[in-house]
């Protein structure tokens, strides 16, 4: 199918984008097009105007500021994948991004597009939740920052106002030597995950967990932070038995039940993938300490 007829706009600055958003009705922003183009072709969306972000200056960069990575909205997923800074400071993101679709999709797909599309199983969405990211958006009334926890407001719907542009995302980095793992289950390589688990851990010298983050993707309309599991891990040394017991509670999550998988299958995946991700994160701390 071909997309519906729309007017095409090709601005060069974020301010021009915001001016267009403020004056036009029924607008869509085009980033990498990897989700939007199929939706246009299938006529799931019928915009009157399309604003192309691909020539807008200053939206594609990766930099470290005050112990956090700030990544521009138009940064391609493939550039994040190959960034040495990301690999060193945020290895969870690097591990997650290699599981996004196929390399052709990552060549065009952007960080901002993935977060705004907000698929419940998207890897970068889960990483943003796991790291307590902050999303920076620009609108006619200026810049504002949104905690990622408050960014998803409904199924595939973000807290962005129709006249706002996502400009960058800030991911706080964890301490050097932390443990991490991103594990997902999908039916075929490159498919969206049915369920994913993102784990981050810090441990003291005696091996007791001092900080933990566990996020599940694909279980609900937005990623779920398993705060009960995080709390249960703190102050104790991890063993396979203790992690197995703690992760059993994840079977109680009220999970999506759809054509891809029934709820009880997702609950099983949540318990198993979380255990594996936490144990892998723990093993990575131990392996790092032996170097």
105 binds ligand FAD (CB under 6 A): yes
Phi, psi (degrees; rounded to nearest 5) at 44: -75, -25
3-state secondary structure of 36: helix
Interaction pattern, residues 186-225, with ligand FAD; x per rule: CB under 6 A: ------x---------------------------------
Residue 110 or 170 having the CB closest to ligand FAD = 110
CA distances from 289 to 201, 226, 285 (A): 14, 27, 6
Dihedral through CA 119, CA 125, CA 129, CA 134, nearest 10?
A: -120
Span near ligand FAD by CB under 6 A; candidates 80-88, 149-157, 159-167, 168-176: 159-167
- H-helix segments, 103-191: 103-108, 111-117, 123-130
Strand partners, 51: 9, 29
Q: Which of 11, 34, 212, 230 binds ligand FAD (CB under 6 A)?
A: 34
Interaction pattern, residues 69-88, with ligand FAD; x per rule: CB under 6 A: ----x---------------
96 binds ligand FAD (CB under 6 A): no
Q: Which of 81, 123, 203, 230 binds ligand FAD (CB under 6 A)?
A: 123
21 binds ligand FAD (CB under 6 A): no
CA distances from 130 to 3, 93, 109, 180 (A): 36, 10, 21, 11
Q: With beta carbons less than 8 A apart as the criterion, state whether 203 and 211 touch.
A: no
Q: Which of 60, 75, 83, 110 binds ligand FAD (CB under 6 A)?
A: 110
- Please, what is the minimum distance in Å from the beta carbon of residue 202 to ligand FAD? 27
- 257: tokens are 């039940």
- Please, what is the minimum distance in Å from the beta carbon of residue 226 to ligand FAD? 20
Residue 123: partners with Cβ closer than 8 Å, 6 or more residues away: 96, 97, 99, 100, 114, 182, 184, 193, 196, 217
29 binds ligand FAD (CB under 6 A): yes
> What span, in angstroms and rounded, lies between the C-alpha atoms of 277 and 213?
11
Q: Which of 35, 60, 168, 196 binds ligand FAD (CB under 6 A)?
A: 35
30 binds ligand FAD (CB under 6 A): yes
Residues lying near ligand FAD in the complex (CB under 6 A) are found at 28-36, 53, 73, 100-101, 105, 108-110, 112-114, 116-117, 119, 122-124, 160, 165-166, 192
């Amino acid at each position: 199918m071909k997309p519906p007829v729309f007017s095409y706009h090709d601005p060069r600055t974020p301010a021009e984008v915001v001016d267009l958003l403020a004056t036009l009705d029924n607008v869509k922003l085009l980033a990498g097009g990897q989700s939007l183009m199929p939706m246009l072709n299938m006529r799931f969306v019928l915009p009157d105007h399309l604003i192309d972000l691909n020539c807008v200056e200053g939206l594609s960069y990766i930099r470290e500021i005050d112990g956090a990575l700030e990544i521009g909205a138009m940064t391609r997923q493939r550039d994040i994948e190959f960034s040495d800074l990301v690999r060193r400071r945020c290895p969870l993101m690097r591990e997650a991004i290699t599981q996004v679709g196929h390399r052709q999709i990552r060549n065009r797909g952007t960080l901002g597009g993935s977060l705004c599309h907000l698929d419940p199983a998207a890897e970068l969405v889960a990483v943003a939740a796991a790291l307590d990211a902050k999303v920076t958006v620009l609108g006619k009334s200026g810049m504002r920052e949104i905690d990622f926890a408050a960014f998803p407001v409904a199924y595939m719907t973000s807290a962005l106002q129709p006249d706002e542009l996502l400009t960058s995302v800030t991911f706080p980095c964890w301490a050097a030597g932390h443990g991490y793992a991103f594990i997902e289950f999908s039916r075929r390589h490159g498919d969206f995950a049915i369920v994913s688990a993102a784990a981050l851990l810090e441990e003291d010298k005696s091996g007791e967990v001092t900080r933990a983050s566990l996020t599940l993707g694909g279980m609900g309309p937005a990623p779920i932070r398993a705060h009960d599991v995080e709390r249960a891990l703190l102050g104790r040394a991890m063993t396979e038995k203790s992690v197995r017991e703690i992760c059993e509670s994840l079977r109680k999550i009220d999970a999506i039940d759809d054509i891809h998988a029934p709820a009880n299958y997702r609950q099983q995946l949540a318990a198993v993938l979380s255990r594996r991700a936490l144990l892998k994160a723990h093993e990575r701390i131990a392996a790092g300490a032996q170097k």
